[in-house]
Chain A
Amino acid sequence: MLRRCLDLLWLVLFWTAGLFILFVLAGIMGYLVLRGGPVLSWEFLTTAPRGLPLGAEGGVFPAIKGTFYLVLIAVFSAVLPGIITAVYLVEYAAPSRFRDIINLTVQCMAGIPSIVTGLFAYALFVVRMGFGISLLAGGLALGIMIFPVIVVTSRDALLAVNEQYRLVGASLGVSRWYMLVRVIFPQGLPAVISGVLLAAGYAAGATAPVMVTAAVISAGSSGSLFEPVMALPYHLYILFSQQISIERAYGTALLLVLLLLILNAVTLWLRSLKGKGA
């Protein structure tokens, strides 16, 4: 009898924990929609911040633009090296100490706190190379940050391709590259792309590296590489911490989360594509 009660108790605990996860997301989303929903409007998305202190009125358009450019530079700088490293790890590296080292490197890089990446980018790009607080420095900092994410997701995407294909290719005497181009890439591409999209979302939301290398409270975000920009997450931080406008902060937070949800939805769709192709 006691055993029974105890079992029931554990079961309740497990269910609670599972439902708690759903509750957390629902809570955050619900609260943001409730408080930020009314702020989100076409005007909020397409106008620059106004008012005194700056940001108390108006929108976040330059911040959206700035974040877009930052992410663009980050993805451009990280995607190619990331995928190439993944290809090396999966297709070319024989089991060796060198491969272990690369794997460990990637794992360590994935664990580096984003503020340390920011610190590195500040010392290298902002100070040593003289870019100053600028779009380029911030984009490259984000690139370094998402690089290990891209390696890991692409590596897993390539590993998920049926191992038998590789054996068939090898036994027919075709080269690894031919196999990659004809079979492995087309199969793994949707998963690779969805990994890149997730990394882009990660870069869009990262605040700490951008805060020390690229973002300022107000800028036009013209897209010029050597000028500072506004960025959505940093804008959110400023709106809140300087007590400028709590409503607009909710609006900005909601915008960031919506962006993430859209990226996740696209990712899920891409994954479903792969199911049909194979």
Chain B
Amino acid sequence: MAVCINNLNVWLGSAQILKDINLQFKKQRITAIVGPSGCGKTTLLRSINRTAELEEGFRCSGKILLNGKNIYQSRDVSGIRRKMGLVLQTPVALPLSIKENVIFGARYCRGKNKQELDEINERCLKQAGLWEEVKNKLNKPAAELSGGQKQRLSIARVLAVEPEVLLLDEPCSSLDPASTKVIEELLIQLSRQLTVVLVTHNLFQAQRVAHDTIFMMEGTVVERGPTGVMFSNPQKQETRAFFSGLIW
């Protein structure tokens, strides 16, 4: 069990966003989280990455375990954030060159060893499937890339700090179908080494890539299971209603 969430409750101000969440994300599998917007998917991801606590009025109870250790008891917050790599919904290219984007976090941790950073740059861009497209313009501003390329750049940037878990918050919601396909294939590749958690509101996407699917509603986990089972034979009334509303 890579990530294990026990009785997690999260409040922002007086509103309870997550209610008594109990989940496991397994190694080398892709877990999709689906649900209507505003159901707490993003907050869940950001709680795992420990950036939710930057929001005003954040409070939480319960445990999130990474390899058996409670991440909320660790004092090395930035270490936790690196292990739980997070990719945001909108593709963000930092206003730096492509290469500096990729090694942004790595340079922070490892200093200025140029050769090492070059290796990381090449390895991560290859992993993110972007190397062939950008290898001749590594020093160009990353802002010149297309939306899909920026999203893969974001993934490369996260990979460069060697995460154990990859959290993606609707990574394809602003991309065209072709870029979406590229990213989905990439995720399947990455899941051979990492734990991948994919928040999506595209049920087809969950069906295409995820081994397991979790359905959330109003801050609670309604149902979870292997993707095939979930989609062919959902147990709960709400799940059925949600799936049918969008699929049929």
A–B direct contact (CB < 8 Å): yes
Interface-side segment among B74-82, B126-134, B186-194: B74-82
Complex: A272 Cα to B56 Cα, angstroms: 33
Q: What chain B residues lie within 8 Å of A178 (beta carbons)?
A: 108
Contact indicator A95/B56 (Cβ below 8 Å): yes
- Number of residue pairs spanning A and B whose beta carbons lie under 8 angstroms apart: 63
- Given A183-B94, A186-B95; A170-B105 close (CB under 8 Å): no
Contact indicator A172/B90 (Cβ below 8 Å): no
Contact indicator B95/A183 (Cβ below 8 Å): yes
Q: What chain A residues lie within 8 Å of B80 (beta carbons)?
A: 173
Complex: A178 Cα to B108 Cα, angstroms: 8
Q: What chain B residues lie within 8 Å of A252 (beta carbons)?
A: none
Q: Mark A22-48, 1 if CB is under 8 A from B, else 0.
A: 000000000000000000000000000
Contact indicator B82/A172 (Cβ below 8 Å): yes
Q: What chain A residues lie within 8 Å of B104 (beta carbons)?
A: 172, 174, 182
Contact indicator B105/A172 (Cβ below 8 Å): yes
Q: Mark B78-99, 1 if CB is under 8 A from A, else 0.
A: 1111100110101010111000
Closest to B100 in A: A182
The answer to whether the Cβ of B182 comes within 8 Å of any Cβ in the partner chain is no
Complex: A84 Cα to B184 Cα, angstroms: 44
Expressed in whole angstroms, the minimum distance between the Cβ of A54 and any Cβ of chain B is 55
Contact indicator A173/B94 (Cβ below 8 Å): no
- Chain A stretch 172-195: residues in CB contact (< 8 A) with chain B: 172-175, 178, 182-183, 186-187
Expressed in whole angstroms, the minimum distance between the Cβ of A203 and any Cβ of chain B is 32
Q: What chain B residues lie within 8 Å of A171 (beta carbons)?
A: 49, 51, 81, 85-86, 88, 158
Size of chain B's interface in residues, with CB distance under 8 A?
Answer: 26
Interface-side segment among A72-80, A100-108, A160-168: A160-168
The answer to whether the Cβ of B15 comes within 8 Å of any Cβ in the partner chain is no
Expressed in whole angstroms, the minimum distance between the Cβ of B246 and any Cβ of chain A is 28
Complex: A175 Cα to B56 Cα, angstroms: 19
The answer to whether the Cβ of B54 comes within 8 Å of any Cβ in the partner chain is yes
The answer to whether the Cβ of B143 comes within 8 Å of any Cβ in the partner chain is yes
Complex: A171 Cα to B14 Cα, angstroms: 25
Complex: A159 Cα to B218 Cα, angstroms: 32
Contact indicator B79/A173 (Cβ below 8 Å): yes
- Chain A stretch 130-172: residues in CB contact (< 8 A) with chain B: 162, 164-165, 167-168, 170-172
The majority secondary structure among interface residues of chain A is helix
Q: Mark B156-183, 1 if CB is under 8 A from A, else 0.
A: 0110010000000000000000000000
Contact indicator B77/A173 (Cβ below 8 Å): yes
- Given A164-B90, A167-B51, A178-B108; A173-B82 close (CB under 8 Å): yes
Contact indicator B161/A168 (Cβ below 8 Å): no
Closest to B54 in A: A170
Contact indicator A187/B95 (Cβ below 8 Å): yes
Our pick among B79, B86, B95 for the contact of A278 (Cβ within 8 Å) is: B95
Complex: A119 Cα to B111 Cα, angstroms: 52
Contact indicator A165/B92 (Cβ below 8 Å): yes
Closest to B167 in A: A171
Q: What chain A residues lie within 8 Å of B92 (beta carbons)?
A: 162, 164-165, 167-168
Expressed in whole angstroms, the minimum distance between the Cβ of A246 and any Cβ of chain B is 53
Contact indicator B108/A172 (Cβ below 8 Å): yes
The answer to whether the Cβ of A277 comes within 8 Å of any Cβ in the partner chain is yes
Most chain B CB neighbours (cut-off 10 Å) among A162, A168, A277: A168
Contact indicator A173/B81 (Cβ below 8 Å): yes
- Chain A stretch 184-231: residues in CB contact (< 8 A) with chain B: 186-187
Q: What chain B residues lie within 8 Å of A164 (beta carbons)?
A: 88, 90, 92
Contact indicator B88/A168 (Cβ below 8 Å): yes
Most chain B CB neighbours (cut-off 10 Å) among A164, A172, A186, A187: A172
Expressed in whole angstroms, the minimum distance between the Cβ of A14 and any Cβ of chain B is 38
Our pick among A167, A183, A187 for the contact of B88 (Cβ within 8 Å) is: A167
Q: What chain B residues lie within 8 Å of A183 (beta carbons)?
A: 94-96
Complex: A173 Cα to B105 Cα, angstroms: 7
Q: Mark B107-149, 1 if CB is under 8 A from A, else 0.
A: 0100000000000000000000000000000000001000000
Q: What chain B residues lie within 8 Å of A186 (beta carbons)?
A: 95
**15 interchain pairs, CB-CB under 8 A:** A167-B54, A168-B154, A168-B157, A170-B51, A170-B54, A171-B51, A173-B77, A173-B80, A173-B82, A174-B78, A175-B108, A182-B96, A183-B96, A186-B95, A278-B95
B residues bordering A, Cβ < 8 Å?
49, 51, 54, 56, 77-82, 85-86, 88, 90, 92, 94-96, 104-105, 108, 143, 154, 157-158, 161
Closest 6 CB pairs of A and B: A173-B78, A173-B81, A172-B105, A171-B86, A173-B82, A174-B108
In addition to A168-B154, A172-B82, A173-B81, 10 A-B residue pairs with Cβ atoms within 8 Å of each other are: A162-B92, A164-B92, A165-B95, A172-B85, A172-B105, A173-B78, A175-B78, A277-B95, A278-B95, A278-B143
